[in-house]
């Protein structure tokens, strides 16, 4: 049997409580794997992502500035 099939057989034999423990353990393994993927980003990739997000933030801020100012004026009149 390959490892996956052996694992399935072992899971079938476990009590419900032990299956819950295995499920929690798998969640921890997935979390650690995800953390490693995030940590593996190099400095250049992070710089590029930051620059892209910064540019998008500026565009959004500039496009909504006139609407924001108009809203403030409306509030002042009330």
> Mind listing the pLDDT tens digit for each residue in 9-21?
999 998 999 889 9
Please tell me the distance from the alpha carbon of residue 21 to that of residue 6, in angstroms, as a whole number.
Answer: 18
Looking at the structure, tell me whether residues 1 and 33 fall in a common domain.
yes
Higher-pLDDT residue of 78, 16: 16
Instruction: Specify whether 60 is located in the same domain as 28.
Output: no
For residues 73 and 46, state if they share a domain. yes
Residue 26 in tokens: 């798998």
Q: 50 and 35, same structural domain?
A: no
User: Using CA of residue 58, residue 62, residue 68, residue 73, what is the dihedral sign?
Assistant: positive
Give the model confidence (pLDDT) of 26-54 as tens digits.
888 888 766 666 656 677 777 887 777 77
What is the value of pTM for the model shown?
Answer: 0.41
Instruction: Locate all alpha helices (DSSP H) within the chain, ordered by sequence.
Output: 3-13, 16-39, 43-77
CA separation for the pair 64, 56 (Å, rounded):
12
**Above 70 in pLDDT, residue 71?**
yes
What mean pLDDT is predicted for residues 65-77?
Answer: 78
> Phi/psi of residue 14, each to 5°?
-75, 155
Q: What is the domain range of residue 58?
A: 42-78
């Amino acid at each position: 049997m390959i490892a996956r099939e052996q694992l399935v057989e072992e899971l079938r034999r476990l009590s419900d409580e032990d299956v819950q423990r295995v499920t929690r353990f798998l969640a921890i393994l997935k979390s650690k794997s995800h953390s490693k993927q995030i940590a593996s980003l190099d400095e250049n990739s992070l710089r590029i992502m930051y620059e892209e997000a910064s540019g998008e933030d500026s565009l959004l801020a500039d496009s909504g500035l006139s609407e924001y100012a108009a809203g403030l004026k409306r509030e002042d009149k009330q």
